[in-house]
Amino acid sequence: MFPMNDEHPLTSSSSWFLLVGGKEKAIKQSKSRNNRHGAENRGSAEAGGGGTVAEVVPPSGRIITPNLKIFTYAELQSATRNFRPETVVGEGGFGTVFKGWVDRETLAPSKPGVGMPVAIKKSKLDSWQGLQEWKAEVDFLGKFSHPNLVQLLGYCREEKYFILIYEYMEGGSLETQLFKKGGDPIPWDTRLNIAMGTAQGLTFLHTSEDQVIFRDFKASNILLDKDFNAKLSDFGLARLGPADNKSHVSTRIIGSYGYADPEYIATGHLYVKSDVYGFGVMLLELLTGLKVVDTRRPNGHINLIEWAKPSLAEKRKLKKIMDPRLENQYPPRAAFQAAKLVLKCLKLRQKHRPSMEEVLVTLQQINSIKVNPN
């Protein structure tokens, strides 16, 4: 049913594959030192049976015993009114995302507007890519609990589909909110909070017992709740970090154009600090309000990094490329410190970049700089 080769292309225009020397093995389920089987009703991604409600996200991140509900296809049909088109909230290479409704306690399907909303990501039929990303999502999100990671509530594997059920993020993606036409712009303080939230999520992944490289860090994979608190989503391309004292993971090159680490592209070596490069790109987008790549911009401005980089080291030049929608409502000194952090994150060699822990500390220091009331 699923052709087991690594040359199945992504269908999403925002992502791309470039194969390097041979094939990459499918992502294997990582081993946690915690008991992965738990109580009787806790489901395995490869097995059927009933499941229970995922536990509440604690104040700080930790590795947990997977406790996901295994939904039936019929339950998800009921939750989305048979996957009606008007319930679609997003699409991508994996498939389509629907908004459904379930009971807050039991997660049983409910009527629209009753209980709590959930995001239901349904793979395309017979999608090999969908199968691999589905496995990675269940594996990683199923065992991690952190305020800045989107919560996976359960999954379904029936009728040739691979389906994931998440908490619903009312604010949508950072990409949608930051680059939308019209409406209120995101204020400076909120932009910094989004940067700190995503930095906290990445720091947790990089420093957890089972070190994880997110690999596809970008604005569309950062989801926002109604208060614009940020959470990382879409772990379909995530990988376990290097083992046996190695500095990197050798893998085919896969990611999103503009965000991918240049050293990773050149060598096929994936580093923990490859995520730091993607974070630097996102921070630059927050400063300028511009997408990293936009073919509608004039020549010389299409690639944001190439155009903006020369202006990041000088205060006067930086002011000219700051998002005009901010209307100068930000501390210039804080913006300049953020610009210097962008330059550090975008270093071509990963060994010259800061760790995400260092990035987070710097962002917290920047956040303490407030607008002068005068």
- pLDDT tens by residue, 93-107: 678 999 999 999 999
The mean per-residue pLDDT over the stretch 167-179 comes to 96
Q: Which residue has the higher pLDDT, 331 or 39?
A: 331
pLDDT at 24: 33
Q: Which residue has the higher pLDDT, 39 or 229?
A: 229
Amino acid at position 161, single letter: Y
The mean per-residue pLDDT over the stretch 149-171 comes to 92
- Which residues fall in the annotated binding site for ATP? 122
pLDDT at 139: 85
Residue 170 — pLDDT band, cuts 50, 70, 90? Answer: very high
Q: Which of 216, 234, 275, 323 is catalytic?
A: 216
In the numeric block, which tokens belong to residue 296? 């509608």
pLDDT at 55: 38
Residue 235 Cα to chain centre, angstroms: 7
307 backbone dihedrals φ, ψ, rounded to 5°: -75, -40
**How many whole angstroms separate alpha carbon 23 and alpha carbon 19?**
8
Residue 4 has pLDDT above 80, yes or no: no
pLDDT at 65: 57
Task: Could you list the beta-strand ranges (E) of 195-315.
Answer: 212-213, 222-224, 230-232, 239-240, 249-250, 253-255, 269-270
Strand order through the sheet with 95-102? 69-70, 152-158, 161-167, 116-123, 95-102, 88-91
* Tokens 């049913």, located at residue: 1
The mean per-residue pLDDT over the stretch 9-21 comes to 32
Could you tell me if 162 and 130 are in contact, meaning their C-beta atoms sit under 8 angstroms apart? yes
pLDDT at 66: 65
DSSP state of 18: E
**How many whole angstroms separate alpha carbon 213 and alpha carbon 220?**
17
Which residues contact residue 98 at a Cβ distance below 8 angstroms, ignoring those fewer than 6 apart? 80, 83, 87, 88, 89, 119, 120, 121, 122
In the numeric block, which tokens belong to residue 279? 């974070």
How large a percentage of the chain has pLDDT more than 90? 63
Residue 92 — pLDDT band, cuts 50, 70, 90? Answer: confident
Residue 71 has pLDDT above 50, yes or no: yes
How large a percentage of the chain has pLDDT more than 70? 79
pLDDT at 45: 41
**How many whole angstroms separate alpha carbon 369 and alpha carbon 332?**
9
**How many whole angstroms separate alpha carbon 175 and alpha carbon 186?**
12
pLDDT at 17: 31
Amino acid at position 349, single letter: R
Which residues contact residue 22 at a Cβ distance below 8 angstroms, ignoring those fewer than 6 apart? none
Could you tell me if 221 and 234 are in contact, meaning their C-beta atoms sit under 8 angstroms apart? yes
Q: What is the CA radius of gyration of the chain?
A: 21
Residue 42 has pLDDT above 70, yes or no: no
CB atoms within 10 A of CB 239: 21
Q: How many helices (H) and strands (E) does the chain have?
A: 10, 17
The mean per-residue pLDDT over the stretch 50-70 comes to 56
Q: Which residue has the higher pLDDT, 318 or 27?
A: 318
pLDDT at 8: 30
pLDDT at 128: 66
Ordered by where they begin, the domains of the chain are 63-167 (3.30.200.20), 172-368 (1.10.510.10)
Residue 1 has pLDDT above 60, yes or no: no
Distances (CA, A) of 337 to 26, 108, 344, 369: 41, 48, 11, 10
Residue 93 in 3-state DSSP? coil
Which residues contact residue 354 at a Cβ distance below 8 angstroms, ignoring those fewer than 6 apart? 276, 341, 344, 345, 362
pLDDT at 344: 98
Residue 62 — pLDDT band, cuts 50, 70, 90? Answer: low
Could you tell me if 17 and 255 are in contact, meaning their C-beta atoms sit under 8 angstroms apart? no
pLDDT at 135: 86
In the numeric block, which tokens belong to residue 140? 């990683």
- Residue pLDDT, tens place only, 242-301: 876 677 888 888 878 899 999 999 999 999 999 999 999 999 999 999 999 999 999 999
Mean predicted lDDT score pLDDT of the chain: 83
Distances (CA, A) of 307 to 258, 301, 302: 13, 5, 8
User: Comparing 59-63, 264-268, 318-322, which segment has the lowest mean pLDDT?
Assistant: 59-63
User: In sequence order, what are the beta bridge partners of 167?
Assistant: 118
The mean per-residue pLDDT over the stretch 171-180 comes to 95
**Among this protein's residues, is 216 annotated catalytic?**
yes
